[in-house]
Amino acid sequence: MKMIEGHAVIDVPDNVPVWDIDPYNPEILANPLNYYAELRAKGPFAYIPKYGILACGRHKENKEVFSDWERFVSSRGVGLQDFKLGKPWRDPSIVLEVDPPEHGRTRKILMRLMSPKVMRTLADDFQLAADRLIDELLEKGTFEAVTELAEVYPTTVFPDAMGLRACDKRRLIDYGAMVFNALGPDNDLRRKAMATAPDIVPWITEQCLRENLKPNGFGAAIYAAVDEGEITEEEAGMLARSLLSAGVDTTVTGLGSALWCLATNPDQFELLKSDMQLLRPAFEEVLRYTSPVHSFCRTADIDTEVSSIKIKQGTKILCVLGAANMDEDQWPGATKFDISRKPVGHMAMGAGVHGCVGQNLARAEVQAIFTAIANKVDTIKLAGEAVWRPNNAVHALDSLPITFTRK
């Protein structure tokens, strides 16, 4: 059996075009729109010979593959590596990298922590922190929105909500970036990220222990499930690890992209200020338009068929969520950022049983920041070039110079 990047290489299925491209090329990762459009134009799937995988870019197939956990499993890994054929770099996540019915048992616990009811108890603290940060940035006028806003806010409110006793902003952000880069091939991006593992991983593991989590946070609530006999002590540590893996870098990315959308679409910012009802749809449109998680894989666990294409057991499918979110057939005028669009069914938080479990928390953070901005800021302007940072699974800004003027 021929292997590439830890998975079996499949033959080209009938009626699937071969596309000689590297989706993990840093230039493509930084500015992916042309790649997204070309991938959709190829048809339901394209075969990528460099990795021996199928990629899908249209909304229809992305939705079908992502929603069907029985045929397209997560337990074989959601990156290029097939966990059935080799051991991953860390123990598999007990919520992301498992299938039902096991998945339901662990997911249920995280769902409870992230319920709208729990979010309401956090709202005042989140708003206070957002108001304070936006006031500080208004004092500065011009600032670097990635390091001074996007990275600051989640690393202020999340460790508190989690109940972390120690807060190392850099390690929290870099761990997320590492976990997401690890989903790609063994390229420079992955190797550079993994080089930080010996420093970061033991620190993360330690923060996930019961004694390092304060009462009242998400961490303590996870350990309460141990005391109820729902999960083991070790599983609690693993669930805490999931929150630290997926809860920081993603929201940092989403906030940076939200600022970029407002700065580059002043008419939409005016619209938002004039109608605060648009606050939530505005964030959904940010998600659709920028797709913070640009791609995730699934693995076909049986021989099957999607859109009349035969897919063999063991096939890795690169689901390019960013491309699905720009599909004109699903979103007319897709390349326009339009906060009145209400893009129900976007793929930025996934779909189906594995849909982002922290989405209420992400929305609560952005709600607080958008509220503070809409109340206090008159104009948002780019003060320099926006630069994107390549990552094998995340589409994030590297730098975003911004000028705020006061209302």
Question: What stretch of H or E contains 134?
Answer: helix 116-140
DSSP codes joined into one string, 24-90: T-HHHHHS-HHHHHHHHHT-S-EEETTTTEEEE-SHHHHHHHHH-TTTEESTT-SSSS-TTTS--SS
Between residues 217 and 281, which has the closer beta carbon with respect to ligand OVV?
217
| From candidates 45, 143, 180, 283, binder to ligand OVV by CB under 6 A | 180
Q: Is 178 in the site for ligand OVV (CB under 6 A)?
A: no
At its nearest, how many Å lie between ligand OVV and the CB of residue 246?
A: 4
Q: Is 193 in the site for ligand OVV (CB under 6 A)?
A: no
Question: What stretch of H or E contains 379?
Answer: strand 377-382
Burial call 285-320: b when 16+ CB within 10 Å, e when fewer: bbbbbbbbbbbbbbbbbeebebeebebeebbbbbbb
Size of the site for ligand OVV (CB under 6 A): 8
Between residues 253 and 265, which has the closer beta carbon with respect to ligand OVV?
253
Between residues 179 and 374, which has the closer beta carbon with respect to ligand OVV?
179
| From candidates 75, 81, 207, 245, binder to ligand OVV by CB under 6 A | 245
At its nearest, how many Å lie between ligand OVV and the CB of residue 180?
A: 5
Identify whether 101 is preceded by a cis peptide bond (ω within 30 of 0).
yes
At its nearest, how many Å lie between ligand OVV and the CB of residue 175?
A: 10
Residues in region 54-113 near ligand OVV by CB under 6 A: 93, 95-96
At its nearest, how many Å lie between ligand OVV and the CB of residue 204?
A: 10
Q: Specify the DSSP class assigned to residue 278.
A: G
| From candidates 246, 311, 317, 402, binder to ligand OVV by CB under 6 A | 246
Q: Is 201 in the site for ligand OVV (CB under 6 A)?
A: no
CA distance 287 to 258: 8
Point out which residues bind ligand OVV (CB under 6 A). 93, 95-96, 179-180, 242, 245-246
